[in-house]
Structure 1
Amino acid sequence: MKKFLILLLIPLFFGCDKEDFQNNNPYLPNYPVNLNINMSLPQYSNLLSPANAVYINSAGQGIRGIIVFNTGSGYVAYDAACPNQSLSSCSTMTLSGIDAICPCDDKRYSLFSGLSQGMQYPMKRYRIEQTSEVSLRVYN
């Protein structure tokens, strides 16, 4: 009986991927992202401290650039495109402390969760891994 129970539980442990990011947002297309960040460089050094974010506007990285945020227990990366707006001249989010603001509708999105109260879609999230003490890789 124990063997049967163990065989039933094994697929449950291996069947879930905690980093399964789905983009079901009709406003934001899927562009490839593969970005390496060296936090020892001055433009990224803010990421070494918790509750700090950096906006990275590198050509070919995301839709409107990438926002990387240090949560204190790890890092998260989001696209800087407003998630509840069609792409336009005002749809690039700006940083304000621990929030990102969409200038089209002045909605604030938490960089901890990517959510904004009352909005349908969260910020588009990318995978991120810390490859060394001062290096991050953002990808999808």
Structure 2
Amino acid sequence: MKKILSLSLICLLFFSCSDNGFKNNNPYIPNYNFTVTFDTNYPAYSNLQYAGSSPVYYAGPEVGPKGIYIFNTGTGYNAFDAACPNQSSSTCTNRLIPDGTYLKCSCGNEKYFLYTGQSDLQYPLKQYRAEKIGSVIRVYN
């Protein structure tokens, strides 16, 4: 009886583990391992201090060829890859562009909501982890 109870407890713990719902798989966008920081006290990133303001675009060699967007949702920060998530880079060479509270794919005019990264298409925006530590926002994968 103790073995069954122990096995049940182990199975319960194993299946209750969570990845916080963070899914980052997209066949069109490779996984890049990176960490970048943004100090919101700097003028280039001060927009991130205000909820719902325009997203900040960053293009550095560590984040991939299209760059990333960072957005203040009011309850946290979203960071998304700037590549169109439903088209290969060979068919869409342009990056996403801001359009109000959306990012729009310039190749097909698909829109993705900045608060969730979702659209009506198969793949949402490729999201990266973002955390705020004081005035610094750390984005990483």
Unaligned runs of 5+ in 1: none
TM-score, scaled relative to structure 1:
0.84
The match for 1:130 among 124, 129, 132 is 132
Partner AA of 1:30 in structure 2? N
Counterpart amino acid of 1:44? Y
Q: Which residue of 1 aligns with 2:79?
A: 77
Aligned equivalent of 1:106: 109
Q: Is the 8 A contact 2:24 2:128 kept in 1?
A: no
Distance 2:65 2:22 in 1: 20
Q: 1:75 Cα deviation (Å)?
A: 0.4
Identity %: 41
Alignment partner, residue 39 of structure 1: 40
**TM-score of the superposition, structure 2-length normalised?**
0.84
The verdict on how the C-alpha distance between 1:66 and 1:127 changes in structure 2, with shifts beyond 3 A counting, is same
Q: Give how far 1:22 is off.
A: 3.2
Q: Which residue of 2 aligns with 1:93?
A: 96
1:20 Cα shift? Answer: 3.5
Q: In the TM superposition, what is the alpha-carbon distance from 1:62 to its structure 2 partner?
A: 2.9
Q: For residue 19 of structure 1, report the CA deviation from its aligned partner.
A: 5.4
Partner letter of residue 84 of structure 1?
Answer: N
2:62 counterpart SS class: coil
CA distance in 1: counterparts of 2:24 and 2:52, whole angstroms? 25
Deviates more, 1:29-38 or 1:89-98: 89-98
- CA RMSD in angstroms comes to 2.2
Matched, 1:60 2:62: yes
One-letter code aligned to 1:104: C
Give the corresponding residue for 1:120: 122
Residue segments in structure 2 that go unaligned for 5+ positions in a row: none
Residue 116 (structure 1) shift = 1.3
Describe the superposition over 1:101-128 as per-residue Cα deviations: whole angstroms up to 9, x where unpaired. Answer: 10000111101111112x1110100011
CA contact (8 A) 1:99 1:108 kept: yes
Instruction: Report the residue type matching 1:94 in the other structure.
Output: I
Matched letter for residue 106 of structure 1: N
Q: Structure 2 CA distance, aligned partners of 1:19 and 1:38?
A: 27
